[in-house]
Structure 1
Amino acid sequence: MRSTYTYPIGTPGEKWGDAERIQWREQTSIKREYQQEVVPKIQALSEKLNVEQYGALSYDESRFPLFCIKSKNWDEDKPIALVTGGVHGYETSGVHGALKFAATQMAHYSQYFNLVIAPCVSPWGYETINRWNPLALDPNRSFYKDSPAEESANLMKLVASFNKDVLVHIDLHETTDTDETEFRPALAARDGIEYIEGMIPDGFYTVGDTENPQSEFQAAVIESVSKVTHIAPADEKGEIIGSEVVQHGVINYPMVKLGLCGGVTTCTYGTTTEVYPDSPKVTDEECNDAQVAAIIGGLDYVIAKEQLSK
């Protein structure tokens, strides 16, 4: 459905230049603080797990250090499992779901995997509740060589530092009502294209990789999450956010082609989760629990499939 809505920045049909990007950045504001809400939770894990700084954002290096949490007893014989959250900083349960998994489940799963969790890839976006970074770039479309997005480039450097390929990558996201009220209209304005209104699905779903869909793995994630929250149904076209539903609660994207975080590794098993926090059927904590359940479902499947031992 086409919309008559006009975004307040830029000229319709014309791509933004530097002036429009600056205008967009100047209308953002700090709404919550990374150093108060996220960093203390990360540091609290340092006694039981390894907390490492893998970079910092040049916008304010002291305000925006980038941390990852690693298994305490790294074992070269174990496969690597990567969990990423907050690639889109405004997607709150991605950040706090990753941290809850680290606090409650990481010790158990470290028996099978060398686990790495990057809980808040985009802390500026977390603070301003934004999808983009200050340059009006989407980190989750910027995972490619010589990335202009610092958030993406820093995570790619972290992945490159691993001594082997990643076996499992679970990237935690949300689909929110503001995707349609703010972020997709802003994207259309930035790129000088027409905004065509879409539908936000009510429920959880996952995004697999078109080139490596791993349908059984996706099904295991969906089954685990269904014990915590409801799964998004397909719309009347058999789609979710404009993509074909290939199995219950699952769509696929070409991860590498689109520069998505889901393509940052060459993993065998990968999924991008999508929680719907604006549903009247869920609480914030249930959204965090859904992210934890997604990780558990995926890892349990891989343990069984690959016959991993402690």
Structure 2
Amino acid sequence: MGNEAFYPIGTPGQPWGAQERAAWLAKQVKHRSYAQDVLSAIDRLRDAFDVSEYGALTYGAEHYPLIVVRSRGWRDDLPVVLVTGGVHGYETSGVHGALQFLQQHAGEYAGRANVMVVPCVSPWAYERIHRWNPDALDPNRNFRKDSPAGESAALVNLLEPLRDVVLMHIDLHETTDSDESEFRPALAARDGKPFEPGEVPDGFYLVDDADQPQPAFQQAVVEAVAKVTHIADADARGEIIGSPLLLPGVIKFPVKQWSLCAGITNARYATTTEVYPDSPRATPQQCNDAQVAAVRAAIDYALAHRGG
């Protein structure tokens, strides 16, 4: 089935040009506030953590400071554990799960690890509940040094000095019904390709690094999250979003080859969470709690096995 049945912008079979991108951008509407939802929550953490700006984005009249939160009393002899959220702005529990972890649990690792959290990588997209940035680019295909996406370039620059130091990196995402109704059709239209419908998995799953798989690590995270919300089953083909199941609730991608966020550093333990907020079996708070459970389990496993 062609793009014309799925997306109103562009000509089927032809990639978007400047006119189509402008038409797409004109349709984007601000639904929520990065300053109120994210920056205000981070401000309340300043007494307990080191908070700093690692870059900024200016889109038209809008200016977005990019914020990283670090353990107070950072020590070079401690391992670094990294949490990122909001790479895709519409994936709400990634942002609020990261903030909830900071508020409730990050302090528990004082003296054991340097905790580094970037709660919202893509603030413009957070406000518009969207996957792309204003240039119709997906930040999670552009985490590389020469990135055309400002969100991605800023995070790559932040993490470059820690590239070989980070022990664990967990990147918090969601898979939503809008992936099939909006974002994948838009991607097909943007690139002038036919849209091939897929299946949205009902439940939580993880994405492992195909080039450096850590099955025991992934399993520990899945088992922790299973206490909070349900784990996605494979489809009739034994797959989740077109990828074979490695373990219950775990698939793998070549994260560095695809320039995904989880591949920015050379962390021994890396994973990408995928929460399903549209499930009738999960509440928004459960989604946030699932992200927090994943973060805690990932850090705990990495610290327990850092020498192994």
Aligning the two structures, in what range does the TM-score lie when normalised by the shorter sequence? over 0.9
CA distance in 1, matches of 2:6, 2:290: 35
What code does the residue aligned with 2:206 have? Answer: T
Contact 1:6 1:12 survives alignment (8 Å): no
Counterpart in the other structure of 1:242: 242
Alignment of 1:43-192 (within 5 A): 43-59=43-59, 63-162=63-162, 165-192=165-192
What code does the residue aligned with 2:302 have? Answer: V
Matched, 1:262 2:265: no
Instruction: Using the TM superposition, give the Cα deviation of residue 40 of structure 1 relative to its aligned residue in structure 2, in angstroms.
Output: 0.4
More deviation in 133-142 or 4-13?
4-13
What code does the residue aligned with 1:174 have? Answer: E
Contact 1:80 1:114 survives alignment (8 Å): yes
Alignment of 1:220-239 (within 5 A): 220-239=220-239
Matched, 1:306 2:299: no
Instruction: Using the TM superposition, give the Cα deviation of residue 61 of structure 1 relative to its aligned residue in structure 2, in angstroms.
Output: 8.2
Aligned residues: 308
Shift in CA distance, 307/145, structure 1 to aligned 2, threshold 3 Å: closer
Q: CA RMSD in A?
A: 1.6
CA distance in 2, matches of 1:307, 1:286: 33
CA distance in 1, matches of 2:79, 2:36: 33
Shift in CA distance, 67/60, structure 1 to aligned 2, threshold 3 Å: farther
Q: Where does structure 1 lack aligned partners over 5 or more consecutive residues?
A: none
Contact 1:156 1:264 survives alignment (8 Å): yes
Matched, 1:280 2:261: no
Q: TM-score, normalised by structure 1?
A: 0.96
Contact 1:35 1:63 survives alignment (8 Å): no
CA distance in 1, matches of 2:3, 2:13: 14
Q: Where does structure 2 lack aligned partners over 5 or more consecutive residues?
A: none
CA distance in 2, matches of 1:166, 1:207: 18
Q: TM-score, normalised by structure 2?
A: 0.97
Contact 1:53 1:65 survives alignment (8 Å): yes
What code does the residue aligned with 1:202 have? Answer: D
Contact 1:88 1:130 survives alignment (8 Å): yes
**SS across alignment from 2:117:** strand
Contact 1:3 1:197 survives alignment (8 Å): no
CA distance in 2, matches of 1:131, 1:109: 32
More deviation in 95-104 or 53-62?
53-62
Contact 2:3 2:185 survives alignment (8 Å): no
Contact 2:3 2:188 survives alignment (8 Å): no
CA distance in 2, matches of 1:62, 1:134: 11
CA distance in 2, matches of 1:297, 1:220: 7
Shift in CA distance, 2/19, structure 1 to aligned 2, threshold 3 Å: closer
Instruction: Using the TM superposition, give the Cα deviation of residue 109 of structure 1 relative to its aligned residue in structure 2, in angstroms.
Output: 1.7
